[in-house]
Structure 1
Amino acid sequence: MWLAPVGAEPRLAAHNLLRTLGSTLVDNPTLRHDQSGRPHIPGLAVSISYSRHLIAVAASYGGPVGVDVEEVRARDVAGLAGRWFAPRELEWMGRQDDELVAFLQLWTGKEAVGKALGVGLGEAGLRREMPLGGGAVESVPGLVVTHLRWPDAVLAVAAPAGEVEVSRRSPTLDPPCARG
């Protein structure tokens, strides 16, 4: 996974960053989109996410991958959490030092899993329970959620177990990269 600032055109910047990441993994990557708008590069599983100020892209040889980034900014999350989170998730969230960051870890995990499954947040199930603090997703055997902290942001990567490696290599801002 690579991370970069958004710039003026987030979608274009995300596609350019994904092409750059793809070129480190396959020769002459061709970025296409399916009918739902999901990006594809032959030979790789890929995912894109962007927020107001950040872009995250991920690619994997080993199977499905999903990425999500959310900026840490003041917002009311109680209603969303109460509506979509399981009692176990709500209890865990309430025990954390930073309830907003805990909410964002669960939310980005759900989003990343939905993207990895190719069905998005709604179809993947907002009610799908996430591993608390990251780890194996019980409802999807072999899929693991890994969380990465970045100043003022929470990132989640969903990928096959054993596929995520955290390093510090990237052409962007030297962010943490999860490479699989």
Structure 2
Amino acid sequence: MKHLFDARTQKCWTELIEKEAYTRIAWRDKYGAKYSRIPPTILKKQSEVPKLPARNYTLPAIHVPRQQEEAKKTAQESPSKPEVFQDMRPVTPQVRTLLYDGFSKERKGRYLYLEKRKAKHPEEKFQYPVLSSWEYGWRQGDVIQELQLPAHGRLRTVNDTFYSRNGVFHKLSATDTLATIN
């Protein structure tokens, strides 16, 4: 098996492959036209259809009633702006002024602007959840404020608010509190 991986055997294989490629090219040059895979195209005779002389047709003039003309004029005179639909709520002027004040390297300007925008919750920045994955956490801040954070350990916000023991409501009834394990 070692003799298959030495340099002499590899050189032999490359020469055989090159020789085969050159042989194929030489055969195609010599016999390619005679034994072509693609059949020669046969020129089809174009059907001779007599061409008719072009006729000059004129259409009658279109008369628009006066009411339609007046409606068009009033529509053209008062250009209405197309309704712009925005996903994100506009920035307050105070936050916008931060954008143009200073450089990011100095922790001013764009850096401070992005920090202020990041501090807001998504509910304050957007009118509705843009992505379907946002729906799980949408308005989650209201629920978290009601909860008391444990001194040690983890907070099971999703488990306590999203999943329900019985029924649709996430609030536990008096009978459910008796069955919970502390």
TM-score by length of 1: 0.19
- Structure with higher helix content: 2
Please tell me whether Structure 1 or Structure 2 has the larger radius of gyration of its CA atoms: 2
Which structure has more RCO (C-alpha within 8 Å, separation ≥ 6)? 1
- Structure with higher strand content: 1
